[in-house]
Amino acid sequence: MTAELIDGKAAAASLRHAVGEAALTLPRKPGLAVVLVGDDPASQVYVGSKEKAAGKANIVGSVRRMPGSSTQEEVLSVVRELAADDHVDGILVQLPLPEGLDADEILSAIPAEKDVDGLTAPSAGALVLGQEGLTPCTPQGSMRLIKAVESDLSGKKAVVVGRSILVGKPLALMLLDANATVTIAHSRTKDLGAVCREADILCVAVGRPEMVTADMIKPGAIVIDVGINRIERDGTRKLVGDVEFDGAREVAGHITPVPGGVGPMTIACLLRNTVVASARRQGVPVPE
Least distance (Å) between residue 78 CB and ligand NDP: 24
Contact by Cβ (8 Å): 69, 99? no
C-alpha 265: how far from chain center: 7
Q: Which of 50, 114, 156, 218 is catalytic?
A: 50
- Chain positions 181 to 240 lying near ligand NDP, rule: CB under 6 A, are 185-189, 192, 205-208, 226-229
Query: What's the one-letter identity of residue 213?
Result: T
Which long-range contacts link 194-200 to residues 24+ away (Cβ below 8 Å)?
Answer: 195/159, 196/159, 196/161, 198/157, 198/159, 199/157, 199/158, 199/159, 200/156, 200/157, 200/158
Instruction: Examine residue 138 and tell whether it contacts ligand NDP (CB under 6 A).
Output: yes
E strand or H helix at 254, and its extent?
strand 254-255
Can 50 be counted among the known catalytic residues? yes
Complex with ligand NDP: residue 33 or 205, whichever CB lies closer: 205
* Active-site entry in 94, 140, 200, 218: 94
What are the distances in angstroms from CA 253 to CA 50, 146, 256? 32, 12, 11
Q: Burial of 89 by CB count in 10 Å (0-12 exposed, 13-18 middle, 19+ buried)? A: buried
Span near ligand NDP by CB under 6 A; candidates 15-23, 63-71, 157-165, 277-285? 157-165
Here's the x/- map for ligand NDP, 54-93, by CB under 6 A: it reads as ----------------------------------------
User: Taking the complex as a whole, how short is the minimal distance between the CB of residue 193 and ligand NDP, in angstroms?
Assistant: 10
Residue among 207 and 247 whose Cβ is closer to ligand NDP: 207
Contacts 24+ apart (CB under 8 A), 132-135: 134/273, 134/276, 134/277, 135/170, 135/174, 135/273
Q: Three-class SS of residue 167?
A: coil
CB 94 within 8 A of CB 48: no
Q: Is residue 167 close enough to count as binding ligand NDP by CB under 6 A?
A: yes
Contacts of 188 (CB under 8 A, 6+ apart): none
Question: Is 108 annotated among the ligand-binding residues?
Answer: no
Is 163 annotated in a binding site? The answer is yes
Is residue 266 involved in binding ligand NDP (CB under 6 A)? Answer: yes
In the set 89, 114, 115, 117, the catalytic residue is 117
**20 lies in the site for ligand NDP, by CB under 6 A:** no
22 vs 204 by CB, closer to ligand NDP: 204
| 203 bridge partner residues | 160, 224
- Tell me whether residue 88 or residue 265 sits nearer to ligand NDP (CB atom): 265
Binding flag, residue 262, ligand NDP (CB under 6 A): yes
Q: List residues near ligand NDP by CB under 6 A.
A: 138, 161-164, 166-168, 185-189, 192, 205-208, 226-229, 262-263, 266
Binding region for NADP(+): 162-164, 228
Q: Residues with catalytic annotation?
A: 50, 94, 117
